[in-house]
Every structure is written in structure tokens, then in C-alpha cells.
């Protein structure tokens, strides 16, 4: 089966940074650590940008008596930021992504990393930032968490520009996070922490206070992606593309008889989820699997449904996703390729197994989701995995 996608729309979304946007949304909600119930931090007044007392930062930095004013500064591509002494800083994606790793002395396991990332679309001056962020999440395919606003304010800068700041707590059934959004022009920089602990709340506020954008920092998406053409810059444009008439899809299945002459074997061709430029094929027995397809945001996602193991299925076109701290990955060799098989036993979907094989020459990874029966026994789960891995063992990359 081959799936088509209208080239102009596919390339527009690809050039727009849609996938980076989706990845960052996954980081916001799928990479969160699971923590026990605790009292929520007290919301800050929405009308003032309160200074944070150094006393509130004890236990955050390597030295408890270090004043944030004495913290070292990191010069990122588009801004500078203070960070606790002893922490490690990494930068990637051409300055669009910065991650802060706490030191062991700061309680790295309890605090966890802090990530800063530009969001993928522009916000207009008249947009309500909270409503815009909710729409941004829905466009990225994220199930909206329960959200509580800790701070929501605007400030006029010396040059006359208006900046906005929004601090939100996100609560899912099994995970928690918080984010501060800072606008600079029409762009939004996010600071993400993956706990509701008040230490993290205060630390994010200090970090946000310390950020100073460089004079040449981008203020529009065109400036952030100067070499890209036909950019999709706003959520309204994304919605217009999603609501356009469905693209034409070419659906065809090639059947051939296996050497055993028993039943039939079907062959399905699947494009990569990122841009559709690369394809792979797998084969499966029609006596064992049924091929279905679901449509999401005008793209087609093929799935194999097992005919005898109820609840056993394979998603053949999975996108990038984050991992929770409970993730367990083992290596497998299938079809002559190295795969990582990842399970998150403490996540919302402990019955999901994600098989990943990286293709460095193409700059992408192929992800296959294997879903085992929710209430199945160990024997049933093993049978489902074995059947799925037999399909993956026919995986063939197409040139």
C-alpha cells in the first residue's frame, strides 16, 4: 500500500518547523517525571514580576549560600542566561534549544533537567497567550493537561516593545510539568521543568528573570529560519492547511504467494513520518494480520491488527516522542538492522513497545509502535511481540 501527500502542503509544513514544534510539545508532556501528589505552588500575582529571594534557592545551586546575582552566565546564540554554579549547559538546533543539567550536589535526580526551546509558530500581539498555547498544544496532537496559571503579565521594555510572560503548571494523570513562556517580538521562548516542586517553580522564575535577548535575536519566524522559503508562520495558517480538502492518496496493495503456498503474504510500502521522502516495506501474512489505516491531520497512518490476539497491533508510522524516567530500552537485531525496543512501564501506556532504528545517512529514525493487550498475560504479550518482530524482520528500506 502506498500513501500519497500533496507535495506543496507537505513541504510548507516541513519548512515551517512543524516537526520541531511537535517534538517540543512531546518534551513538554511526554518526558515528564512521575511524582507523588503534593501541594501545588502558590500562584504569583499577575500584576508584578516579583523578585525571588536568594533564601528560596537553597538546595538548588551547588553552594546554598550562592546568590543568583553571582551565578555564571551562558551566552547562547540568541540570548544570555544565568545558571546555578556547577550545572552543565548544552545548546543545539542552531540556538533554538538549550538544556541545563543540574549537578549531583544540587540533587540532580530530584530536580531534573530544564529545557529552553523556541516554539514553532508566531503569536500575534492581540492573541491571548494562554489560549494561544492551548491551541498550539492541540495543533501538535497533544491531549491538553489540566493547567493552572501562576503568572500572566506584560511589560514595556526600554525600546518600547512589549514582552509577555506566562507561567503554567501542567497536570496529567501520571505526570507533571511546568513551563514559563517568554515572548520576544512574535516568537515564544519556553522554559520547561518536569516537576511541580516549589524549588523548580522558584528556579524557573529566577532563570526567566535572568534572560537577556541579544540585539540581533530573531523576533519573527522568518528571522529564525532565514534560509527557508514558504514558511507557515501562524497557527491560523496551520489550521487552514489541516481543514483543506483531503489530499489525494494512492492506495494499492501488492499480494504474492509465499514459498510455502499457504495463505497469502501482503507487502505494504510506508513513507517516513517526517517528510515522506524515504520509504520502507514490510511483509505480513494475511492469515495473521489485517491492514487498516487512520487519518490524522490529513496524513494517513497504517496499522496492522492481529487477527487472533485481541488488542495486539502495530503502528507503522510513528513520530518522534520523548521518554519518561521509567523507560527501559533493549537492543534487538531485526532484518539485519539494530533496533532499540523501548517500554515505559510506569507511563500511561505500559503496554506500548516502541521499536526504533536510526538511519544516520538520512538524518531520521523509523519508529514502529507495537501495542500488546492491556490485560494480557505474559505469554500473550510475548506472543504479540514475537508476531510483530516477525513482521519487522522483513523491514526493507527503499531507495
C-alpha cell at 171: 497536570
pLDDT score of 368: 92
pLDDT score of 213: 93
Q: 76-92 pLDDT, tens per residue? A: 999 999 999 989 999 98
- Domains of the chain, CATH where assigned: 17-227 (3.40.1000.10), 254-398 (3.40.1000)
pLDDT score of 306: 95
Q: 252-274 pLDDT, tens per residue? A: 444 333 333 335 778 888 887 77
Q: 57-69 pLDDT, tens per residue? A: 333 443 334 688 8
pTM exceeding 0.85: no
pLDDT score of 383: 94
pLDDT score of 123: 95
Rg (CA), the chain: 23
| Helices 7-15 and 18-29, axial angle in degrees (round to 10) | 60
pLDDT score of 323: 60
pLDDT tens, residue order, the chain (399 aa): 333 333 344 444 444 443 344 344 434 433 334 443 333 444 433 333 333 223 233 334 433 346 888 999 999 999 999 999 989 999 988 888 899 998 776 554 556 789 999 998 999 999 999 999 999 888 766 778 899 999 999 988 777 778 999 999 999 877 889 999 999 999 999 999 999 989 899 999 999 999 999 999 999 999 998 887 778 889 888 777 666 654 443 334 443 333 333 357 788 888 877 777 788 899 998 889 998 887 765 667 889 999 999 999 999 888 766 665 557 888 889 999 999 888 877 777 888 999 988 887 877 888 999 999 988 888 999 999 999 999 999 999 987
pLDDT score of 164: 95
Amino acid at each position: 500500500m502506498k500513501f500519497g501527500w500533496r507535495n506543496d502542503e507537505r513541504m510548507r509544513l516541513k519548512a515551517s518547523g512543524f516537526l520541531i514544534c511537535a517534538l517540543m510539545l512531546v518534551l513538554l508532556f511526554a518526558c515528564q517525571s512521575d511524582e507523588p501528589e503534593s501541594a501545588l505552588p502558590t500562584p504569583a500575582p499577575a500584576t508584578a514580576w516579583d523578585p525571588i529571594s536568594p533564601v528560596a534557592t537553597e538546595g538548588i545551586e551547588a553552594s546554598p549560600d550562592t546568590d543568583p546575582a553571582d551565578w555564571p552566565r551562558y551566552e547562547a546564540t540568541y540570548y544570555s542566561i544565568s545558571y546555578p554554579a556547577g550545572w552543565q549547559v548544552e545548546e543545539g538546533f542552531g540556538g533554538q534549544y538549550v538544556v541545563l543539567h543540574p549537578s549531583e550536589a544540587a540533587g540532580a535526580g530530584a530536580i531534573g533537567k530544564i529545557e529552553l526551546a523556541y516554539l514553532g509558530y508566531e503569536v500575534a500581539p492581540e492573541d491571548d497567550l494562554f489560549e494561544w498555547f492551548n491551541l498550539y498544544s492541540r495543533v501538535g496532537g497533544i491531549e491538553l493537561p489540566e493547567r493552572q496559571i501562576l503568572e500572566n503579565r506584560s511589560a514595556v521594555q526600554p525600546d518600547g516593545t512589549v514582552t509577555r510572560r506566562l507561567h503554567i503548571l501542567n497536570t496529567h494523570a501520571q505526570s507533571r510539568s511546568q513551563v514559563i513562556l517568554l515572548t520576544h517580538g512574535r516568537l515564544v521562548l519556553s522554559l520547561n521543568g518536569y516537576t511541580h516542586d516549589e524549588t523548580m517553580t522558584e528556579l524557573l522564575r529566577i532563570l526567566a528573570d535572568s534572560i537577556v535577548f541579544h540585539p540581533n535575536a530573531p523576533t519573527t519566524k522568518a528571522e529564525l529560519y532565514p534560509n527557508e522559503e514558504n514558511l507557515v508562520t501562524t497557527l491560523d495558517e496551520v489550521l487552514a492547511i489541516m481543514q483543506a480538502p483531503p489530499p489525494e492518496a494512492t492506495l494499492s496493495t501488492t499480494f504474492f504467494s509465499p514459498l510455502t503456498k499457504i495463505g497469502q503474504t501482503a507487502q505494504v510500502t510506508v513513507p517516513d513520518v517526517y517528510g515522506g521522502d524515504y520509504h520502507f516495506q514490510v511483509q505480513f501474512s494475511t492469515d495473521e494480520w489485517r491492514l487498516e489505516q487512520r487519518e490524522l491531520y490529513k496524513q494517513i497512518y497504517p496499522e496492522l491488527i492481529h487477527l487472533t490476539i485481541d488488542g495486539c497491533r502495530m503502528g507503522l508510522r510513528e513520530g518522534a516522542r520523548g521518554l519518561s524516567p521509567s523507560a527501559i530500552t533493549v537492543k534487538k537485531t531485526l532484518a539485519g538492522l539494530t533496533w532499540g525496543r523501548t517500554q515505559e512501564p510506569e507511563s500511561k501506556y505500559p503496554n506500548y513497545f516502541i521499536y526504533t532504528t536510526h538511519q544516520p545517512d538520512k538524518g531520521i529514525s523509523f519508529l514502529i509502535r507495537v501495542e500488546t493487550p492491556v490485560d494480557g498475560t505474559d505469554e500473550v504479550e510475548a506472543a504479540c511481540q514475537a508476531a510483530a518482530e516477525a513482521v519487522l524482520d522483513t523491514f526493507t528500506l527503499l531507495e
